[in-house]
Each structure stands twice: as structure tokens, then as C-alpha cells.
Amino acid sequence: MQDLLAFSLGGVSDKKATLPCPCGWRGHPRRPCVCTPPAVSRYLSRLSGPLLDRIDVQVEVESLPFAAWAGEGSASRGEGSAEVRARVAAARARQRERFAGADGAANARIPPGELCRHCALDAGGLSLLEGAARKLGLSARSLDRILRVALTIADLEGAGAVASRHLSEAVQYRSLDRLQP
Ligand SMILES: [Zn+2]
């Protein structure tokens, strides 16, 4: 299992939450969705619960307009692969240190019972997590995933500890939990 398993949803046209569907075009600005409401519900219920709990990162991806794609190679380019690689290598080094060089050790493999010891949240972090759990009805497993991802975000940033901003970013990566009816 990878540290992070990305799961993308197509066809999100604006900032309001849209539900994924079998045809994949629900909410797309130009292509019509051909799914019936019961088909969408069935699809969502198949995605929900234990399956979603096993996915670390769920992110909605907007369809890319041609002009934006064509401009990709020019000025607006973000971080380059070499920089990202260096950040990831530094984060992995931090994890090796955390687990005292244990073979293949990674945040993804921290047993749930040991997560709190590695994440040591302050009062602000705890209340943020409590609020998210209540509002989104998050399962214990989902909360564990959020903690692990927040720890990895903190590692990638080179931060010494998991802060509220890392937790709220990790909560943002639970798109499908946030869409559950
Ligand atoms: Zn559809």
C-alpha cells in the first residue's frame, strides 16, 4: 500500500459540492450527466463506508479548460519535479528517523494506537478535529487517516509538529466523506 492513494473525481464545475456518479459527468459545465438519481445513490453507497475509509486522500479535480491546459508549459508553472523530489526525500528521511530506521517504516504504517504519540496535538488541533468529526460524521478509521496524512503534510513542510493548518488541509482531502448524505 502506498503512503497516499489519490482518488480523483471528474466533472466538478464550480465550488459547490457535487456528487460523483457512474457516468462521471455530473456537474460538468458542458457535458450532460445521464445518470438517474437512484443510480447516483447506489453508486455513492457502494463507494461509502469501509471502502472510503481505506483511501487516504480523496480530492475533487476540476476538468481543465483547453486554454489552461495549453498555458501549462508557460509562466504559470508551479514547483518543478526536482524540488518536489527533494521535499519528498526529506520527508522520508524524517520518517526513517521517527521509526529509528525500521525497514520500510512510513507514516502510513503507524498502528492506530500509536498515532496520538507521534502527532501530539495541541488544544487547537484537538478541537479542530473534534469539530470536523462531528460535522462530517467521520469514523474512527477516517480520523486515523486524517492524522496520518496531517503528519505527512507536516513532514513535507519540514515542521516539527502537527499543527492545526496540517489537520485542516488533511480534512480537505476527505472530499467523499464531506459529500456523504
Ligand atoms: Zn452521471
Work out how many domains the chain is built from and give that number: 2
Q: Are residues 160 and 102 in the same domain?
A: yes
Q: How far apart are CA 49 and CA 140, in angstroms?
A: 11
3-state helix, strand, coil in the chain (%, to 5): 50, 5, 45
**pLDDT of res. 10:** 38
Cα(32) to centroid(ligand 1), Å: 8
What tens-digit pLDDT sequence spans the chain (181 residues)? Answer: 333 333 434 333 333 445 678 898 887 778 899 999 899 888 877 876 777 777 888 887 777 778 777 776 555 567 889 999 999 999 999 998 888 866 667 898 888 888 888 888 999 999 999 999 999 888 888 899 999 999 999 999 999 899 999 999 999 998 777 665 5
Rounded to 5 degrees, φ, ψ at 152 are: -70, -40
CA 101 to ligand 1 center in whole angstroms: 47
One domain, residues 61 and 93: no
> How many Å lie between the centroid of ligand 1 and the Cα of residue 17?
15
Cα 82 to ligand 1 centre (Å): 38
Picking from 15, 32, 66, the residue at the C-terminal end of a domain is 66
CA distance 54 to 50: 6
- The pLDDT of residue 125: 93
Ligand 1 centroid to residue 104 C-alpha, Å = 40
pTM (2 decimals)? 0.73
Q: What was the pLDDT predicted at 45?
A: 79
Instruction: Tell which of 14, 41, 66 closes a domain.
Output: 66
- Give residue 73's identity as a one-letter amino acid code: G
**What phi and psi, each to the nearest 5 degrees, are found at residue 166?**
-70, -40
Residues 50, 118: one domain? Answer: no
Ligand 1 centroid–CA 49 distance in Å is 21
Q: How far apart are CA 2 and CA 119, in angstroms?
A: 20
Tell whether 159 and 112 lie within a shared domain.
yes
Q: How far is the CA of 70 from the centre of ligand 1 (A)?
A: 27
| Range(s) of the domain holding residue 166 | 81-179
Same domain as 163, residue 110:
yes
